[in-house]
Structure 1
Amino acid sequence: MTVSIPYMHFRGGSSKGLFFLKKDLPEDENLRNQYLIAAIEGTTQGDSRQIDGLGGGSSLSSKIAIVSPSTSPEADLDYFFVQVQIGKGKVSTLQTCGNMLAGVLPFAIELGIIKANSPTTSARINMVNTGGICEVIVQTPSYQVQYEGDTKIDGVLGTSSPIICNYLETVGATCGALLPTRNSIDTILDIETTCIDNGMPVVIMRASDFGLNGYESISELEKNESLKQKIETIRLIAGEKMQLGDVSQQTIPKMCLIAPPIQGGVVHTRMFIPHVVHEAIGVLAAVSVATACILPESITKNITHFTENSSFFSIEHPSGEFTVNLEYSTNNQDVIIKSSGVIRTARLISKGEVYISI
Structure 2
Amino acid sequence: MIHSIPCIIMRGGTSKGPFLRMSDLPESTEARTETLLNLMGAGHALQIDGIGGSDPLTSKVAIVERSDHPDADVDYLFAQVDGPGRRVDFNPNCGNMLSAVGPYAIETGLVEPQDGITVVRVCNLNTQRLIECHVPTPGRQVDYEGDTRISGVPGSAAGIQLSFLDVVGTKTGALLPTGQAREIIDGIEVTCLDAATPTLLIAAEAFGLTGDETPAELDANGPMLARLEAIRREAGRRMGLGDVSHCVLPKPVLLSAPGTTEATLRARYFVPHRCHKALAVTGAIALATAISVPGTVANRIATAAGRLTDGESLAHVRLEHPSGYIDLDVEHRGQDPHDVARVSLVRTARKIMAGTLYYPGTTPDHRPAAAMTARTG
Which TM bucket (shorter chain)? over 0.9
SS of residue matched to 1:300: helix
Deviates more, 1:173-182 or 1:305-314: 305-314
Indicate the residue corresponding to 2:40 in structure 1.
40
SS of residue matched to 1:248: coil
Structure 2 gap ranges (5+): 362-377
Judged with a 3 Å threshold, the aligned counterparts in structure 2 of structure 1 residues 53 and 164 are, in CA distance, closer, same or farther, namely: same
Rounded to whole Å, the distance in 2 between the matches of 1:267 and 1:321 is 10
Q: Cα distance, 1:309 vs. partner?
A: 4.7
Pairing 1:31–2:35 present: no
Indicate the residue corresponding to 1:275 in structure 2.
273
Q: Cα distance, 1:349 vs. partner?
A: 0.3
Deviates more, 1:302-311 or 1:65-74: 302-311
Deviations 1:318-338 (A, max 9, x none): 100111110014557x52101
Q: Percent identity?
A: 39
AA at the equivalent of 1:160 = A
Indicate the residue corresponding to 2:11 in structure 1.
11
TM-score, normalised on structure 2? 0.92
SS of residue matched to 2:266: strand
Rounded to whole Å, the distance in 1 between the matches of 2:60 and 2:216 is 23
TM-score, normalised on structure 1? 0.97
Rounded to whole Å, the distance in 2 between the matches of 1:331 and 1:179 is 18
Deviations 1:255-311 (A, max 9, x none): 000000113200011111100011011001000011110011111234214355541
Query: Would the aligned equivalents of 1:306 and 1:313 in 2 still touch at CA under 8 Å?
Result: no
Rounded to whole Å, the distance in 1 between the matches of 2:300 and 2:276 is 25
Indicate the residue corresponding to 2:296 in structure 1.
298
Query: Would the aligned equivalents of 2:37 and 2:86 in 1 still touch at CA under 8 Å?
Result: yes
Indicate the residue corresponding to 2:322 in structure 1.
318
Indicate the residue corresponding to 2:221 in structure 1.
224
SS of residue matched to 1:338: strand
Indicate the residue corresponding to 2:345 in structure 1.
342
Query: Would the aligned equivalents of 2:169 and 2:196 in 1 still touch at CA under 8 Å?
Result: yes
Indicate the residue corresponding to 2:177 in structure 1.
180
Indicate the residue corresponding to 2:372 in structure 1.
none
Q: Number of aligned pairs?
A: 354
Rounded to whole Å, the distance in 2 between the matches of 1:246 and 1:338 is 30
Counterparts of 1:229-268 in structure 2, within 5 Å, are: 229-263=226-260, 264-268=262-266
Rounded to whole Å, the distance in 2 between the matches of 1:357 and 1:109 is 29
Structure 1 gap ranges (5+): none
Aligned-CA RMSD value: 1.2
Query: Would the aligned equivalents of 1:119 and 1:141 in 2 still touch at CA under 8 Å?
Result: yes
Query: Would the aligned equivalents of 1:116 and 1:144 in 2 still touch at CA under 8 Å?
Result: yes
Query: Would the aligned equivalents of 1:218 and 1:277 in 2 still touch at CA under 8 Å?
Result: yes
Deviations 1:148-183 (A, max 9, x none): 100010011110000010000221011111111111
Q: Cα distance, 1:86 vs. partner?
A: 1.5
Query: Would the aligned equivalents of 1:47 and 1:87 in 2 still touch at CA under 8 Å?
Result: yes
SS of residue matched to 2:338: strand
**Greater RCO, CA 8 A, separation 6+:** 2
Rounded to whole Å, the distance in 2 between the matches of 1:352 and 1:201 is 35
AA at the equivalent of 1:12 = G
AA at the equivalent of 2:241 = L
Rounded to whole Å, the distance in 1 between the matches of 2:145 and 2:78 is 25
Counterparts of 1:1-358 in structure 2, within 5 Å, are: 1-41=1-41, 46-263=43-260, 264-304=262-302, 305-307=306-308, 308-329=312-333, 331=335, 335-358=338-361
Rounded to whole Å, the distance in 1 between the matches of 2:206 and 2:314 is 28
Rounded to whole Å, the distance in 2 between the matches of 1:260 and 1:50 is 37
